């Protein structure tokens, strides 16, 4: 199966590869361009737990503002966090800046998987993907799409996460020594377009004749996943503190939920279950309603309260023009809260 599977997949990729702004055309060697590893790395970080459609405009924005890793390394944390706002999983943005500065200090990206693993924020998957796609190094690249393809191809019935070790071993078996980047991206495309979680399109799959999961019937049952745990419910309060056409914004602590982001002041919902906290300043209070947001670990219902202030609240913060609130780089949760407050004015 080893040789035929990789050859069949690469033939399919040559005809059906997605055209993406961070990709090289199939069959062409990695560009001899210092910016190429940067673009590959940036795209891989952005694509973690995020769809291609959501990433495209952010990738375009980042590569326009910061065309090279050296440009990004020179940016302030606030600038990067504001540009990332809305893409979610904000620890990625914090690690992005750290990694860019480390790469710049080294004079560029290292080309081997072990060296890439030394960079801040780069785990096994990202390091392998950059080594293969940016530098043409043979590397075993396994993300959720590849897990699904390999589990079905070899009919691996052991439940996750225990199945990850045999899945990786089998992925290693079929990873060729040539066209490493194309093969990695072909596996990703196959998983996202053909070997999908539900209703896989087996008749269009270049590996269908060799797929043990298909032969066994019901390939969609693989990989076997443990039952999902119900997400806890959290409640909290955000404060729209207004004065003379401006609203009070704070910067959240660097560590923790939405760390380093501009936000509305709140009552500490990230550490509470009931949202029981005190307003940061006294003043005329008006209930605006509530917004709901889902994080990876919990659901949050955030009550929004407007306070007409005469002075600034204690602590660090800034008065931001309400007419320019969309430019503040608020994370999605607080964008929802701000829009509710504006609609209630």
Q: What is the CA radius of gyration of the chain?
A: 23
Identify whether 44 is a catalytic site residue: yes
Alpha-carbon torsion angle 332, 335, 341, 342, nearest 10: -150
CA–CA separation, 187 and 16 (whole Å) = 12
Contact call for residues 281 and 307 (beta carbons, < 8 A): yes
DSSP state of 296: S
Maximum Cα–Cα distance across the chain: 73
CA–CA separation, 198 and 129 (whole Å) = 25
Which of 19, 28, 44, 324 is an active site residue?
44
DSSP state of 304: E
Alpha-carbon torsion angle 304, 308, 312, 318, nearest 10: 50
Contact call for residues 76 and 83 (beta carbons, < 8 A): no
CA–CA separation, 106 and 108 (whole Å) = 6
CA–CA separation, 104 and 102 (whole Å) = 5
Task: Provide, for the chain, the percentages of residues in helix, strand and coil under a 3-state DSSP scheme, each rounded to the nearest 5.
Answer: 45, 15, 40
3-state secondary structure labels for all residues of 182-234: HHHHHHHHHHHHHCCCCCCCHHHCCCHHHCHHHHHCCHHHCCCCCCCCCCCEE
3-state secondary structure labels for all residues of 221-269: HCCCCCCCCCCCEEEEEEEEEEECCEEEEEECCCCCCCCCCEECCECCH
CA–CA separation, 199 and 177 (whole Å) = 32
Give the H or E element holding residue 63.
helix 52-65
Mind telling me the catalytic residues? 44
């Amino acid at each position: 199966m080893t040789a035929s599977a990789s050859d069949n997949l690469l033939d399919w990729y040559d005809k059906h590869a997605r055209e993406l702004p961070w990709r090289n055309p199939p069959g062409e060697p990695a560009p001899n361009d210092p910016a190429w590893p940067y673009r590959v790395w940036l795209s891989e970080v952005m694509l973690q737990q995020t769809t291609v459609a959501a990433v495209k405009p952010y990738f375009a924005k980042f590569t326009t503002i910061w065309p090279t890793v050296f440009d990004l390394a020179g940016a302030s944390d606030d600038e990067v966090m504001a540009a990332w706002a809305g893409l979610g999983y904000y620890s990625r943005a914090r690690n992005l800046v750290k990694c860019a500065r480390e790469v710049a200090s080294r004079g560029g990206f290292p080309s081997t998987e072990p060296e890439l693993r030394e960079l801040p924020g780069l785990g096994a998957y990202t390091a392998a993907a950059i080594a293969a796609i940016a530098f043409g190094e043979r590397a075993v690249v396994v993300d959720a799409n590849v897990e699904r393809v390999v589990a079905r191809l070899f009919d691996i019935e052991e439940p996750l996460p225990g199945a990850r070790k045999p899945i990786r071993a089998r992925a290693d078996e079929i990873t060729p020594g040539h066209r490493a980047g194309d093969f990695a991206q072909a596996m990703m495309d196959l998983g996202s377009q053909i070997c999908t979680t539900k209703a896989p399109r087996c008749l269009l799959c270049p590996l269908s004749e060799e797929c043990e999961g298909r032969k066994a019937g019901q390939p969609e049952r693989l990989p076997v996943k443990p039952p999902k745990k119900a997400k806890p419910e959290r409640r909290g309060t955000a404060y729209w503190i207004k004065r003379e056409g401006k609203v009070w914004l704070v910067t959240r602590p660097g560590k923790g939920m939405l760390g380093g982001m501009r936000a509305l002041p709140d009552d500490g919902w990230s550490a509470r279950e009931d949202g029981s906290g005190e307003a940061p300043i006294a003043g005329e209070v008006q209930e605006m309603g509530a917004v709901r947001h889902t994080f990876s670990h919990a659901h949050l219902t955030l009550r929004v309260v407007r306070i007409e202030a005469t002075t600034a609240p204690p602590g660090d913060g800034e008065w931001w023009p309400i007419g320019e609130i969309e430019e503040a780089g608020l994370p999605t949760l607080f964008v929802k809260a701000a829009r509710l407050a504006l609609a209630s004015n």
